[in-house]
Chain A
Amino acid sequence: AQSVTQLDSQVPVFEEAPVELRCNYSSSVSVYLFWYVQYPNQGLQLLLKYLSGSTLVKGINGFEAEFNKSQTSFHLRKPSVHISDTAEYFCAVSANKFYFGSGTKLNVKP
């Protein structure tokens, strides 16, 4: 069975500071990995995805994530956050179905 763990439910950070949102997964099969962002009262929007190849994946809005197979992690990073990055972020894995983490609320303070 597959599962996804997002270790931090909330992450407060000041504007222009770097941020890392952590995601660990467990799976007995090869998986594909995704990060989604959800702004208030909206659906989920794809930030980036790892399918194969380079373990460093770049997404929209300056976000990137690194796939670490040995640590079964797929942490999301941004070197300098903006107020507009305040949202909830979901990590997900796809095996033969989709599995979502519980979400991390990123709160960017001025």
Chain B
Amino acid sequence: KAGVTQTPRYLIKTRGQQVTLSCSPISGHRSVSWYQQTPGQGLQFLFEYFSETQRNKGNFPGRFSGRQFSNSRSEMNVSTLELGDSALYLCASSRVAGVAYNEQFFGPGTRLTVL
């Protein structure tokens, strides 16, 4: 069974631009979560989608948004990029959401560099 895939793996943008990252979950998984990882802040939760609906949202500005498609693939978008948005963006998938046992499987991440 294929794992979680994220595209692109590396991305370089300039301040003010926008970016879209993509995540394909493991087949049969319906929940997708996004995390931002930086050396200073560590691993921070962005949002979680389940059956095309956002279930949970972290404490990020509205410039960060996401969506999930009917095939469970998810995209996240960051508009008006800032230097501080440079980070590794990780996607994780799980079978379901909102239950106590909910093992997450991670993709390799997208390394975003904002110049």
Q: Enumerate chain A interface residues (CB-CB to B < 8 A).
A: 29-32, 34, 36, 41-46, 49, 51, 90, 92, 94-98, 100, 102-103
Contacts and interface: CB of A to CB of B under 8 A. Distances in A.
A96 B33 contact: no
Given A29-B100, A51-B101, A41 B111 contact: yes
Contact of A42 (B33, B98, B105, B109): B109
Contacts of B101: 32, 51, 94
A42 B6 CA distance: 11
A51 B43 CA distance: 23
B102 A43 contact: no
B12 interface: no
Contacts, number: 59
Contacts of B35: 100
Nearest to A42: B108
Given A41-B111, A42-B108, A43-B108, A94 B102 contact: yes
Contact of A43 (B48, B56, B106): B106
B100 to A, nearest CB: 6
B99 A96 contact: yes
Chief secondary structure at chain B's binding surface:
strand
B107 interface: yes
Contact of A94 (B4, B43, B100, B105): B100
A100 B100 contact: no
A32 B100 contact: yes
Contacts of A29: 100
Nearest to B44: A100
Interface in B45-67: 45, 48, 56
Contacts of A46: 103, 105
A96 B98 contact: yes
